[in-house]
Structure 1
């Protein structure tokens, strides 16, 4: 019977056949240990010369790294294995012999590994990170489905930008200017007026010339938008969503977290509600810690976010930023117009901002004023203004960066390892 490695628990003490690649091997006298993978997982195959005969044993010993083969054997439970099972190999049938595989068990430099990213993703650690990414995506769809959201896909090519065009990729759309999307938010607001609760999940692009471990040029965003929901409703939805993601990974990716050496005790604490501090309180915290380089009205950099997060065991909301450093569509606090009803959710352990969100301006005249203040073309945003003319309601939304979230939950230092083929400032290959 042909099965996958992920299915072996259903076939203990039975003979099975699997299509696999040889990740690594070692031999000890008359026993060969084959580290096998098939995409669904990793398992050790044990080849005993006395049991299989010299011909099959020599064939197994001759296998080269990343050769493909069909392997037949008996599934055995094995408490010593992290996976819990191993395969007592009976036969090996070579499909393709790989030669001179470039990524060996020795240490390799980052640039070399990035040049060979198409092969690096086969390795156990990279495989674990990307399986956790998959689980976060799966849990995202599950969470929003359970909470009554409809998935809507905004365009990638746009004629305007939610937050200005200085860090956007420009292109020509026939005889018009166009940009690769940095956010689908404005379109999601329109969708929320049609469906109530919506979310998008797709690629976004930032032409930010940054080389930090937190930045990618192309990354994926989850952007929910909700009609009839205010700032407080928005924060509750965010903390419930992030808690759901973490608990789903803990439940369904225990082996991957173990492979990565992740401290799951820290993740187990991530349950709603999350702590909240205002921007004013964050500035005071930073001054108390000696960060006198930042003043009221400045945006936070990575060192500031890390310093703030170190005071908390869970992600922390920083709310009520100054209006002048936030986007034109954010609604000012009615009791204090110099700050807006917004929040950034900062991850623990130095992983930075996971989410940015806000209540949106729902008044036509005030939104028009903000467009003018930001020097934005009213004609370009006419369709967006229409949302405030025809049945405007209080509404809120947020955007979660997938790769930073994967990095934090998996404990991966650099976001370049949390996406299959990263696009970085000086990297468009492979």
Structure 2
């Protein structure tokens, strides 16, 4: 007997195969049982016709409980009515383990209940679709940067200093020293770029920020490229090409998952470089025109501001040249305006907010040291970082893309908590 997976059944049309699966759901009449099967690679309907199988097989099909594990054997058939395109005409069932009282029934459940059962909720068709899209974005990320000559580098998760101060970091003891969980690998990636030219990292980051918004997680994953001999404008081009690449990869390889989520694909089809760009100054003017008269030059943007700005565009939009006072110490000042820095946030359309933050980095030793002191940071803790400006300093730029926000936007889901397998939220460390 040929063993295969649901994703591979297209190779065996009109042939008999065996699939190891779980019963996601079922319905039956007196003569036919319809089994919704999943195996991790996808979902398929198994049809058991009473007149075509032994009586014990049909009774077993009616008796199997939700999320029981089984082996099913049957003939693969094309089915134009199915989004997947195939179904299985079942003639044999072997129960591996019969599940009892599976807690997530087909009825509607509250979010807190589902989050308490996240280890099981991941099995649902919608959650499965989001994890597949997340995986495709990760796959496409590696492909894009490898094709563009970047080297993957892994920065440490435990650090003795922070790129943006320590007020929102998780503190721990590192034997007899203070240490923090990383909020960004950027500083280390700058060191790597001075050795390898173009590098990127992909790993977990942590923010001890007491936020409960739909855009925030305590633990999230960041893709952080850093490029030597790269000016601010050069970095923007890489960013828009990268984001376009991700969207097109999902459109190409996750069409079924996007359908499952009910995503409006026409909006994603418009996401191709180049992206529009406006300055912070322009953004302030736009907000005043939209009635946000309480925001002044020098104020940071919140979610409502970003959403209103993004509504004018059907692609992500760069907001460039923020005030120096709003940004971290390492950003290169504008050559003609010391009050703003060479930075940009990339704001996704449809209200999903910032998905990328990036800048050109200061490469002048004296200026960087001054900025560290002005931010009240310990110069000794950043000695190694200052060394990069003493031994062959070059213009360099980089950015960070938040994976979960990007998955949420491309998937069209409302809250980032569904875009990571086991979310860490302000009041959630379980499961």
Q: What's the TM-score, normalizing by structure 2?
A: 0.99
Match of 1:31 in 2: 32
3-state DSSP class of the match of 1:114?
Answer: helix
Report the counterpart of residue 143 of structure 2 in structure 1: 142
In structure 1, C-alpha distance between the alignment counterparts of 2:375 and 2:70, rounded to whole Å: 61
Pairs within 5 Å for 1:418-429: 418-429=419-430
Q: Distance in 1 between matches of 2:186 and 2:294?
A: 32
Aligned-pair distance for 1:54? 1.1
CA distance in 2, matches of 1:372, 1:173: 25
- Tell me what 1:209 maps to: 210
For residues 84-163 of structure 1, what are the structure 2 equivalents within 5 Å?
84-163=85-164
| Matched position secondary structure for 2:3 | coil
Separation of aligned partners in 1, 2:414 and 2:379 = 42
Q: Return the offset for 1:293.
A: 1.8
- Give structure 1 stretches of 5+ with no counterpart: none
Matches within 5 A, 1:186-201: 186-201=187-202
2:277 is matched with 276
Query: 1:269, 1:148 → 2: CA distance?
Result: 27
Deviations 1:119-165 (Å, cap 9, x if unpaired)? 00000000001110000000000000000000000000000000000
CA distance in 2, matches of 1:101, 1:59: 18
Render the CA deviation track for 1:229-268: whole Å, top value 9, x for unaligned: 0000000000000000000000000000000000000000
Task: Report what 1:376 is aligned to.
Answer: 377
Spell out structure 1 runs of 4+ moving beyond 3 A. Answer: none
Question: Could you tell me how far 1:32 is from its partner in structure 2?
Answer: 0.4
Report the counterpart of residue 395 of structure 1 in structure 2: 396
C-alpha distance in 1 between matches for 2:61 and 2:235: 57
Secondary structure of the structure 2 residue equivalent to 1:225: strand
The total of aligned residue pairs comes to 430
C-alpha displacement of 1:376: 1.1
- Aligned to 1:220, what secondary structure does the other structure show? strand
Provide the residue aligned with 2:254 in structure 1.
253
Corresponding residue SS for 2:390? coil
Structure 1 residue 29 displacement after superposition = 2.1
The CA deviation string for residues 68-115 of structure 1, in whole angstroms up to 9 with x for no partner, is 000000000000001000000010000000010000010000000000
Write the distance in 2 (CA, Å) between the matches of 1:272 and 1:427. Answer: 38
* Superposed CA offset, 1:273-305 (max 9, x none): 000000000000000000112110011000000
Q: Structure 2: where are the runs of 5+ without partners?
A: none
The separation in 2 between residues aligned to 1:229 and 1:325, in whole angstroms, is: 23
Give the 3-state SS of the residue equivalent to 1:20 in structure 2: strand
Are positions 1:171 and 2:178 aligned together? no
The whole-number CA distance in structure 2 between the counterparts of 1:4 and 1:177 is 49
RMSD of aligned C-alpha atoms?
A: 0.4
**What displacement does 1:375 show?**
1.2
